[in-house]
């Protein structure tokens, strides 16, 4: 069996199937690469999951539009006039209008967001499935429905009575759980109550809500047209407005026109609206990936050390090959051919281990942000970047070696 071949000019040498690298020693390098890849993957997946959970909080569909307070530092603390929900609901192309009040609360001793809603409007934007009990009505001011994840975390169920303490206002209510729902969205970590209850616990005037979400037909209207309508409503004097919603809604929700400045109101797709708050503080998907890459690069010292150890352990075999005419260039190329498949396999294993670990953590409700479970975000770019970085580190370590 030939081990090498020398060309006619005696210059180029090509190795053919000579197994001079010992498998046991390669496994040590593979283990280091797997651990570094796992560290990168855990960091990237956690950061991207939080980003995905936050930006998808109000929905990702392009037909969901949010009217919000531009001056608010967070999407949970702004206030917009409630009557705009009624005014804009009659516009052509507006299919549903859901005024909502988001109130951070202490429920049964644990933190949770309580969302005050108009149930019959809210379900037009969010598909809820009641798995236990039944749905609340707007006039049932002593009842709430709880998301399945929140029910598990807070240890509450149907017919339980809980004390709900407002965080932004010194107020509390005793409420009874009427049902448990599932929506397969961040809403599963929330408590839903009639709008009036949310306003009370939020400590706001009954003429205001945190935000208003609309479901629209984009072939007829868009966020710009909705903002133009809002601008036309600005600066109107306070007055009672004629009801256009159900008599039940009118009986509970006061319809009062309040003055406001058009420049203080924002209108955007719900996903873009939430993403804008992240970008306001410099948090983007790209910046989170860069942070993850930096973590991987910090761990690259161990990969570089492991690669140098491999070379040192095979110094005898390498010296033999060099003495019979194998050039450093060809030897490095052959080592890359032999080691890169191990690098790809071990980085893939590191990513798989990261997913497994985070899945267990998520099932235990430990992967949370703002009392919401972060959905595990896995995409091809993270997998590809993980493999590329691992292969690049191994390649650089070998190419930089002297192989004397």
Residue 177: which pLDDT band, with cuts at 50, 70 and 90? Answer: very high
Spatial neighbors of 237 by CB under 8 A, at least 6 apart, are 257, 259
Q: Which residue has the higher pLDDT, 193 or 64?
A: 193
Nearest CA to 158 out of 143, 174, 141 is that of: 143
Find tokens 């980003």 and name the residue. 51
Average pLDDT of the residues in 7-36: 66
Distance CA 73, CA 336 (A): 51
Average pLDDT of the residues in 204-223: 91
Residue 210 has what pLDDT?
A: 93
Nearest CA to 14 out of 401, 259, 337 is that of: 337
What is the enclosing helix (H) or strand (E) of 39?
helix 23-55
What is the enclosing helix (H) or strand (E) of 166?
strand 161-166
Please report the DSSP string for 371-402 in residue order. Answer: TEEPPP---HHHHHHHHHHHHHHHHHHHHT--
Q: At what angle do helices 380-399 and 300-313 cross, to 10 degrees?
A: 40
Spatial neighbors of 19 by CB under 8 A, at least 6 apart, are none
Distance CA 81, CA 206 (A): 9
Distance CA 56, CA 64 (A): 11
Summarised one tens digit per residue, pLDDT across range 218-258 is 899 998 999 988 988 876 655 544 444 444 444 445 567 78
Residue 2 has what pLDDT?
A: 44
Is the pLDDT confidence value at 283 over 80? no
Lowest mean pLDDT among 38-47, 155-164, 272-281, 392-401: 272-281
Average pLDDT of the residues in 301-319: 74
pTM of the model: 0.71
- Helices marked H in 155-222 — which ranges? 195-202
Helix (H, G, I), strand (E, B) or coil at 68: strand
Residue 3 has what pLDDT?
A: 47
Lowest mean pLDDT among 159-168, 318-327, 328-337: 318-327
Q: Which residue has the higher pLDDT, 32 or 404?
A: 32
Residue 404: which pLDDT band, with cuts at 50, 70 and 90? Answer: low
Report the percentage of the chain scoring pLDDT > 90: 29
Angle at alpha carbon of residue 66, lines to 63 and 68, rounded to 5°: 170
Residue 146 has what pLDDT?
A: 97
Beta-carbon count within 10 A of 329 CB? 12
Distance CA 311, CA 339 (A): 12
- Helices marked H in 205-327 — which ranges? 223-233, 247-252, 270-280, 285-298, 300-313, 315-323
- Domain segments of the chain as ranges: 4-55+284-399, 83-254
Is the pLDDT confidence value at 172 over 80? yes
C-alpha distance from residue 42 to each of 49, 100, 381, 386 (Å): 10, 35, 14, 11
Strand 190-194 with 110-117, pairing: parallel
């Amino acid at each position: 069996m030939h081990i090498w071949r020398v060309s006619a000019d005696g210059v180029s040498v090509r190795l053919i199937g000579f197994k001079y690298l010992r498998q046991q020693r390669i496994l040590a390098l593979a283990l280091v690469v797997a651990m570094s890849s796992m560290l990168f993957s855990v960091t990237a997946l956690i950061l991207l999951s939080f980003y995905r959970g936050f930006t998808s909080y109000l929905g990702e569909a392009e037909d969901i539009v949010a009217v919000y307070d531009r001056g608010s530092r967070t999407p949970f603390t702004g206030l917009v006039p409630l009557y705009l929900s009624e005014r804009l609901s009659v516009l052509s192309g507006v299919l549903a209008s859901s005024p909502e009040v988001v109130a951070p609360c202490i429920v049964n001793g644990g933190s949770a967001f309580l969302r005050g809603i108009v149930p019959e409007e809210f379900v037009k934007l969010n598909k809820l499935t009641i798995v236990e009990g039944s749905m609340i009505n707007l006039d049932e001011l002593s009842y709430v429905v709880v998301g399945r994840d929140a029910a598990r975390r807070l240890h509450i169920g149907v017919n339980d009575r809980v004390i709900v303490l407002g965080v932004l206002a010194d107020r509390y209510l005793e409420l009874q759980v009427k049902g448990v729902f599932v929506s397969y969205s961040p809403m599963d970590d929330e408590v839903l109550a009639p709008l009036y209850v949310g306003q009370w616990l939020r400590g706001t005037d009954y003429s205001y809500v945190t935000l208003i979400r609309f479901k629209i037909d984009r072939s007829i209207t868009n966020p710009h047209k909705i903002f133009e309508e809002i601008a036309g409503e600005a600066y109107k004097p306070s007055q009672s407005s004629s009801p256009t919603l159900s008599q039940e809604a009118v009986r509970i929700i006061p319809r009062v026109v309040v003055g406001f400045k058009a420049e203080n109101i924002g209108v955007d797709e719900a996903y873009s609206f939430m993403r804008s708050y992240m970008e306001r503080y410099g948090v983007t998907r790209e910046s989170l990936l860069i942070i993850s890459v930096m973590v991987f690069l910090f761990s690259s010292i161990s990969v570089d050390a492991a690669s140098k150890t491999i070379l040192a352990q095979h110094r005898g075999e390498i010296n033999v090959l060099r003495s019979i005419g194998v050039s450093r260039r060809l030897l490095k190329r052959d080592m890359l051919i032999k080691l890169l498949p191990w690098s790809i396999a071990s980085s893939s294993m590191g990513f798989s281990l990261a997913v497994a670990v985070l899945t267990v953590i998520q099932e235990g409700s430990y992967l949370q942000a703002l009392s919401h479970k972060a959905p595990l975000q896995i995409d091809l770019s993270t997998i590809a970047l993980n493999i590329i970085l691992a292969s690049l580190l191994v390649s650089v370590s070998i190419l930089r070696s002297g192989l004397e």
